[in-house]
Amino acid sequence: MMSLIDRILSPRSSSRDGARTLRVGIAGLGTVGAAVVRMIERRSAALAAATGCTVRVTAVSARDAKRDRGIDLSGFTWFDDPVALARSEEVDCVVELVGGSEGAAKEIVEAALAVGKHVVTANKALLAHHGNALAKMAEARGVSLAYEASVAGGIPVIKAIREGLAGNAVSRVYGIMNGTCNYILSRMEAEGLTFEACLKDAQALGYAEADPTFDVEGFDTAHKLAILTSLVFGVEIDVEGVSVEGISAIQPLDLTMADELGYRIKLLGVAQATEAGIEQRVHPTMVPKATAIAQVMGVTNAVTIDADAVGELTLIGPGAGGDATASAVVADIADVAAGLVRPTFGKPVARLAAPRRVEMQRHEGGYYVRLTVHDRTGVAAGVATRMAEREISIESIVQRRSAKAASIDPHGLSRQPVPLVLITYAATEGNIRAALDAIAADGLLAEAPQLIRIERE
């Protein structure tokens, strides 16, 4: 009789001649699910040759059995109930492409793992919130819980980190992991448009949801970052420990100033090892124009990994879309077909450390600070003094006053507020915020300040 491990390591031998077949059940036939069905059909011979195992879709499930999905479902068993699919005897590997951290997706994955079936998913929300418990279940049954598609869609970043960089110590990983935000920021920069105008276009083009909060306020990136952090630093997933700030407060002027100062603004997710612990942060970030990540425009995603042996490695590619995401899902299915079962987050669950969180106040780095100040003599000096009191060194300072205003009103008596932009050398966030509070208390500001962190190479 086959042991559990033998059975897991060698997908079912279901034909008489002993050739192995992996029977795949797909729950969710939307953008990604339908593309996965098509890709498995299209690549069936190549997958068999590469894995030594025939990959065959046997069962599918979605909400609406009648919807035309542009694929022939007649050869598959249809399940109205995706949990029944997950438990079905005719399925060895369950592919969850329903989405969401609770409800059907969670029930499907839990049911499949509970009966010892491999799971492949693209669901970052589920992993970010329940990844630790699900990894434990997978490990207890000796099955795979694979999730390449959950971070940066078609970019094989999970495999790159877990397998390709196994010999490296990684000190930082950061990336553009939300195409909607990068599309909006790219258009704002190229065309000088407002955030609101670009969001509307993104919605019209299908890049943004009707409720865009999840994307533009950074939560989607936070889910992906939490997964990468676990994998890179060998810690349990801690999505609550991610400090999150979205892009809705970015103004066209910030992009113009960034450009003049040699930067671009990107929504980055950054996980970084520091002496105090692991920083996990998502926020609009100034990146030097010469860096690889600064070149990434539109809906494209990119992830940069700082590793000791290879140095800085940047992977760039499509972060979404049916085919691109299916590419990652099918790569995971191929691993299962080949009999590869890896610890979910790179190590056995018991060896994942509890993450040591670092408060944002302790973050140390350079800052872009845009102040809207009253246009009067001595304001810049007053700002510089408050910064100096907290040992914040200023790398550059730009004060804007239109030539027209200056010629009509050389002494600034009309007191129209003007922008004053500073780039600081490395300082702690706590000190920067304290300096800004002091500047506000001095009555120098006409509006709340804008603060954007700088990520250097």
Ligand X SMILES: NC(=O)c1ccc[n+]([C@@H]2O[C@H](COP(=O)([O-])OP(=O)(O)OC[C@H]3O[C@@H](n4cnc5c(N)ncnc54)[C@H](OP(=O)(O)O)[C@@H]3O)[C@@H](O)[C@H]2O)c1
Residues interacting with ligand X, by CB under 6 A?
A: 27-33, 61-64, 67, 82, 97-99, 104, 122-123, 149, 153, 320-321, 325
Q: Least distance (Å) from ligand X to the CB of residue 356?
A: 29
- CB nearer to ligand X: pick between 123 and 229: 123
CA distance 55 to 92: 10
Name the minimum Å distance from CB 285 to ligand X: 22
Q: Closer to ligand X at the Cβ: 113 or 423?
A: 113
Considering the complex, state which of residue 30 and residue 382 has its C-beta at the smaller distance from ligand X. 30
For 179, the 3-state DSSP assignment is helix
DSSP reduced 3-state for 152: coil
- The residue whose Cβ lies closest to ligand X is 30
* Residues sharing a CB contact under 8 Å with residue 381, sequence separation 6 or more, in sequence order: none
C-beta of residue 429 within 8 angstroms of C-beta of residue 400: no
| CB 28 to ligand X: min, Å | 3
Let me know: does 270 contact 172? Beta carbons within 8 Å: yes
Cα angle 360-153-36, degrees, rounded to a multiple of 5: 150
Choose among 143, 411, 412, 368: nearest CA to 260.
368
Q: Quick one: residue 47, left, alpha or beta (phi over 0 = left, psi -120 to 50 = alpha)?
A: alpha
Q: Cα 359 to chain center, whole Å?
A: 20
| Residue of 117, 124, 224, 266 marked catalytic | 224
Least distance from ligand X to the Cβ atom of residue 153, Å:
4
Bridge partners (DSSP) of residue 244 are 282
Among candidate residues 12, 275, 241, 251, the one with its CA nearest the CA of residue 118: 12
Q: Least distance (Å) from ligand X to the CB of residue 385?
A: 49
Length of the chain: 457
Q: What's the rounded Cα separation, in Å, for the pair 16 and 189?
A: 62
Toward ligand X, which CB reaches closer, 130 or 264?
130
- Report the 10 Å Cβ neighbour count for 119: 27
- Say whether 224 is catalytic: yes
| C-alpha to C-alpha distances, 146 to 115, 132, 217, 439, nearest whole angstrom | 16, 13, 27, 50
Q: How far is the CB of 117 from ligand X (least distance, A)?
A: 17
Q: How far is the CB of 13 from ligand X (least distance, A)?
A: 30
Q: Which of 287, 245, 267, 259 is nearest to 184 (CA)?
A: 267
Question: How is residue 356 written in tokens?
Answer: 């040591």
Paired with 170 in beta bridges are 307
Question: Chain-centre distance of CA 271, in angstroms?
Answer: 11
Distance (Å, whole) CA 115 – CA 108: 11
Rounded distance between C-alpha atoms, residue 262 and residue 30, angstroms: 42
Between 78 and 425, whose beta carbon lies closer to ligand X? 78
> 62 or 336: whose CB is closer to ligand X?
62
**27/48 with CB nearer ligand X:** 27
Q: Cβ closer to ligand X: 124 or 453? A: 124
Considering the complex, what minimum distance in angstroms separates the CB of residue 118 from ligand X?
A: 17
**d(Cα 346, Cα 166) in Å, to the nearest integer?**
9
CB atoms under 10 Å from CB of 428, counted, come to 18
The residues carrying an active-site annotation are 224
